[in-house]
A and B are shown apart, each in its own frame.
Chain A
Amino acid sequence: MKIGVLALQGDFDAHRKRLEELGAEVLLVKQPAQLDEIDGLVIPGGESGTFLKLLGNAGFEKLKHFARTKPTFGTCAGAILLASEVENPKQSGLGALDIGIRRNAYGRQVDSSIRQGKLGESPIEMVFIRAPKIERIGPGVEVIATEGPDAVAVRQGKAMAATFHPELSEDTRVHRAFLDLVSNGHKK
Chain B
Amino acid sequence: MSQNNGSSTSLRLKTGLAEMLKGGVIMDVTNAEQAVIAEKAGAVSVMALERVPAQIRAEGGVARMASPKKIREIMAAVSIPVMAKCRIGHFAEAQILQELGVDYIDESEVLTPADEAHHVDKHAFKVPFVCGARNLGEALRRIAEGAAMIRTKGEAGTGDVVHAVKHMRQIVQEMKILTVLGEEELYAKAKEHQAPYELVRMVAKAGKLPVPNFSAGGIATPADAALVMQLGAESVFVGSGIFMQDSTTFADPEEAEKRAKAIVLAATHFNDPKVLLEVSENLTGAMKGLAVAGMDEAHMLQTRGW
Q: Is A178 an interface residue (CB 8 A)?
A: no
In the complex formed, the residue of B with least CB distance to A111 is: B1
Contact A110 B17 (CB under 8 A): no
CB–CB B79/A49 < 8 A: yes
* 8 A-B residue pairings within 8 Å (CB atoms): A30-B268, A46-B21, A47-B45, A88-B79, A109-B81, A112-B1, A114-B9, A129-B16
8 Å CB contact of B13 from A7, A46, A89, A113: A113
**Residues on the A chain within 8 Å of B267, using CB:** 9
B298 within 8 A of A: no
Residues of B within 8 A of A77 (CB): 20
Contact of B101 (CB < 8 Å), options: A54, A110, A168: A110
**Residue among A53, A114, A116 making CB contact with B41, cutoff 8 Å:** A53
- Mark B residues whose CB is within 8 Å of A: 1, 3-4, 9, 12-13, 16-17, 19-24, 39-45, 79-81, 98, 101-104, 126-128, 261, 264-265, 267-269, 272
Partner of B3, one of A11, A50, A113: A113
In this assembly, does A165 line the interface, its C-beta being within 8 Å of a C-beta of chain B? yes
At the interface, is chain A mostly helix, strand, loop or mixed?
loop
Chain A residues within an 8 Å CB radius of B101: 107-108, 110
In the complex, how many residue pairs between chain A and chain B have their CB atoms under 8 Å apart?
117
Residue of B nearest to A52 (CB): B42
CA of A12 to CA of B128, assembled, Å: 21
What chain A residues lie within 8 Å of B12 (beta carbons)? 114, 127, 168
A115 CB to closest chain B CB (Å) equals: 5
User: Is B79 a contact of A109 with CB atoms below 8 Å?
Assistant: no
CA gap between A46 and B264 in the complex, in Å: 14
Those of A141-177 within 8 Å (CB) of chain B: 165, 168
CB distance from B232 to the nearest CB of A (A): 13
A104 to B80, CA, bound (A): 9
A18 an interface residue at 8 Å Cβ cutoff?
no
Question: Is A137 in contact with chain B by the CB < 8 A criterion?
Answer: no
Assess whether A103 is in contact with B23, with CB atoms less than 8 Å apart: no
Q: Is the CB of A50 within 8 A of B44?
A: yes
Q: Which residue of B lies closest to A47 (CB)?
A: B44
Would you list the 4 A-B pairs with minimal beta carbon distance, nearest first?
A53-B42, A109-B103, A11-B19, A9-B23
- Interface 0/1 of A112-146, CB less than 8 Å to B: 11111000000000010110000000000000000
B4 touches A129 (CB 8 A): no
> Complex formed: what's the CA distance from A127 to B12 in Å?
9
Contact flag A112-B17 (CB < 8 Å), given A30-B269, A50-B42: yes
Residues of A within 8 A of B13 (CB): 109, 112-114, 127, 129
Does the CB pair B16–A168 fall under 8 Å? yes
Q: How far is the CB of A10 from chain B (nearest CB, A)?
A: 6
CB atoms of B23 and A110 under 8 A apart: no
Given the complex of chains A and B, what is the CA–CA distance between A110 and B94 in angstroms? Answer: 13
Expressed in whole angstroms, the Cα–Cα distance for A62 and B20 within the complex equals 24
Contact (Cβ within 8 A) A9 B104 = no
Q: Is the CB of A50 within 8 A of B24?
A: yes
Contacts of A88 in B (CB 8 A): 79
Please determine whether A10 and B268 come into contact, CB atoms closer than 8 angstroms.
no
Chain A proximity of B27: nearest CB distance (Å):
12
Smallest CB separation, B133 vs chain A (Å): 21
CB of A165 within 8 A of CB of B44, answer: no
A53:B264 contact, CB within 8 angstroms:
yes
B134 to chain A, nearest CB (A): 25
Q: A24 at the A/B interface (Cβ < 8 Å)?
A: no
Chain B residues with CB under 8 Å of A115's CB are: 3
Q: Which residues of A contact B4 (CB under 8 A)?
A: 112-114
Q: Does A14 contact B (CB under 8 A)?
A: yes
Q: Which residues of B contact A130 (CB under 8 A)?
A: 17, 20, 81, 103
**Chain B residues near A13 (CB-CB < 8 A):** 22
Tell me if A108 and B103 are in contact (CB < 8 A). Answer: yes
Q: Is A8 an interface residue (CB 8 A)?
A: yes
Question: In the complex the two chains form, is B22's CB within 8 Å of A10's CB?
Answer: yes
Given contacts A14-B19, A30-B272, A103-B79, contact A114 B24 (CB under 8 A): no
Given A8-B268, A53-B42, are A47 and B9 also a contact pair (CB < 8 Å)? no
Which of chain A's residues have a CB closer than 8 A to the CB of B16?
112, 127, 129, 165, 168
The residues of B that contact A103 with a CB separation of less than 8 Å are 79
Contact with B along A1-22 (1 / 0, CB 8 A): 0000001111111100000000
Instruction: Verify if A41 is at the interface (C-beta below 8 Å from B).
Output: no
- Kindly list 4 other residue pairs between chains A and B, CB separation below 8 angstroms, not including A10-B19, A112-B17: A9-B22, A47-B20, A53-B261, A129-B17
